Chains A and B, each alone.
Chain A
């Protein structure tokens, strides 16, 4: 092709733009597919071990009096036990895609649980005034009040995190570490270490039964759509991928970062609402280590710690891997200690795999 053609003969062909042969082999399948494969293999392994050593099925129904193909109860537990941390992981995923990290989410859960629960208490317990009431005049409030209070807590924590990171330019690790310690302090200070109990019936309804799963999956779908189809999502990937390029392209980096951390903290505070509603009580130690579990779910789900890559779908599958491990170990009647050890190995393994995949891609293999 030369100058005289002026590009007029260049058109989209079935092979791609400009007529270069499109190499189908170079097409990489989505990272989520690998994670899903890992999940399937893991479930298969538990199924096999169960059949061979216990004579029981991990996945399928083995009771004659129940008419079902799968072991419904186990499936519910697998997802239920990761739903609350999963809600946090949705926010953490967005933070990591943007190239940051949020260590404060577990403590934000603790502080928010305490504060929100104070506004969700009943006036009387068994005919007597609520012995645990934080604000005696502020009982039996509609459920929207504690939820809004929780969102307010998340908003505040996120604004502080985001503003620190965007304007003082300290590393996100440090800024959110500070918030982690501070928020935990607030959680303890709020009721001087006392648990806060006796929520209203409507508040208790939020975390009842499979509600945490419904909330987790709805939020996951919502944010996956936002990441894929909105400007916000595109800018998350752009900033995590090449912050200088994003700045030169006119993206307002500071505003975006604040928004990302606000969303992450609000999701953590929603997780807190679900958690203390489910447990019918709030304690200052709630949510300890949740931030690391959430980060681990994201990383296992293929979210790159160096930013720019990952998805909510991946994180959801990552959280299911978590759930399967916990349930699987219980199923095999192994001590909970082993769970932690294996979890650690899987987290490191996931990152090693990710690095290896990146290197392989970089050399064009």
Chain B
């Protein structure tokens, strides 16, 4: 159990009569990169929302970093070390890169309540370090997010997760809205995270990307986990079969 960073048991979420997520058992080891795949409405995002405290689960248990956890909200989850890169980027357009990285958890020189003096030098240095660590390329730290391309914005959002010694990073379709080059840049960042041994859950529809980047693929279908496969034990056709339901996966899961 010691090298398991995240574990869910019988994780269930119902919206009224709709079973969005049914009895999901999931494990993530330290340093491991796992992809979550599945059709729209298969329960991928619902699963992530339960882990990160955005929504409250109907049933089941979650362990994070060796402790059972019940996050009341995304901020609590973040404080515990789960950083999420949201589909709709949570960035303030009119602020520069360091301000966005430290938004809501600014480093202060003197604590004067709301009028605390910011430690701008420290935040700038930490930002530079985080960008180097994630290999994010930003031409000018002082320019506002408004002036950046979609890829650069996504990179800033990802770099934010790396600034704060996070224990788990979750990315919800980080390249969905990006061009080819920008996608490559984000994928490079993910490889850098892998090299640094930071665990990651990646939600993606992109088969090539998933096989390129992760160690293990978990497939959701109709609110249930139908496959949990190591990359080398499967291929694209196999995954598609699970996603579309032409293969049920019950036999494999029982065996595993």
* A residues in contact (CB < 8 Å) with B: 1-3, 5-7, 10-12, 15-23, 26-28, 226, 229-232, 234-235, 237-238, 240-242, 244-246, 248-251, 255-256, 259, 308-309, 361-362
State whether B137 touches A231 (Cβ < 8 A): no
**Between-chain CB contacts (< 8 Å), 28 pairs:** A3-B188, A5-B135, A6-B192, A6-B195, A7-B133, A7-B134, A23-B139, A26-B139, A28-B147, A226-B115, A229-B117, A231-B118, A232-B114, A234-B99, A237-B92, A237-B94, A238-B99, A238-B104, A241-B93, A245-B89, A245-B92, A246-B92, A246-B103, A248-B90, A250-B104, A250-B105, A361-B146, A362-B146
Decide: B114 and A256 in contact? CB cutoff 8 A: yes
Q: A259 with B132: in contact, given A3-B192, A251-B103 (CB under 8 Å)?
A: no
By a CB distance below 8 angstroms, the chain A residues around B131 are 10, 17-18
Residues in chain B near residue A242, CB distance under 8 A: 90-93
Tell me whether B105 and A20 are in contact (CB under 8 A).
no
Asked whether A361 lies within 8 Å of B188 as measured between CB atoms, the reply is no
The one of A2, A231, A246 that contacts B115, using a Cβ cutoff of 8 Å: A231
**In the assembled complex, which residues on chain A have CB atoms less than 8 Å from the CB atom of B117?**
229-230
Whole-angstrom distance between the alpha carbons of A244 and B134 in the complex? Answer: 26
A229 CA / B108 CA spacing, docked (Å) = 10
Given A231-B108, A256-B114, A238:B95 Cβ within 8 A: yes
Given A229-B117, A230-B117, A241-B95: A249 in contact with B90 (beta carbons within 8 A):
yes
5 new A-B contacts at CB < 8 Å, known A2-B191, A7-B195, A234-B95:
A18-B131, A231-B118, A238-B92, A249-B104, A250-B105
B91 contacts across to A, CB distance below 8 A:
242, 245
- State which of A246, A308, A362 has its C-beta within 8 Å of the C-beta of B104: A246
Closest beta carbon of chain A to B108's beta carbon, Å: 6
Q: Which of A7, A28, A250, A256 contacts B75 (CB 8 A)?
A: A250
Docked pose: A83 CA to B239 CA in angstroms: 70
Does B112 reach chain A (CB closer than 8 Å)? Answer: yes
- Assembled-state Cα–Cα distance A328/B173 (Å): 59
Given that A7-B135, A249-B104 are contacting pairs, would A22 and B140 also be in contact in the complex, using a CB cutoff of 8 Å? yes
B209 located at the interface, meaning its Cβ lies under 8 Å from any Cβ of chain A in the complex: no
How far in angstroms is the closest Cβ of chain B from A16? 4
Please judge, given known A-B contacts A3-B195, A10-B135, A242-B92, whether A231 and B114 are in contact too, CB under 8 Å.
yes
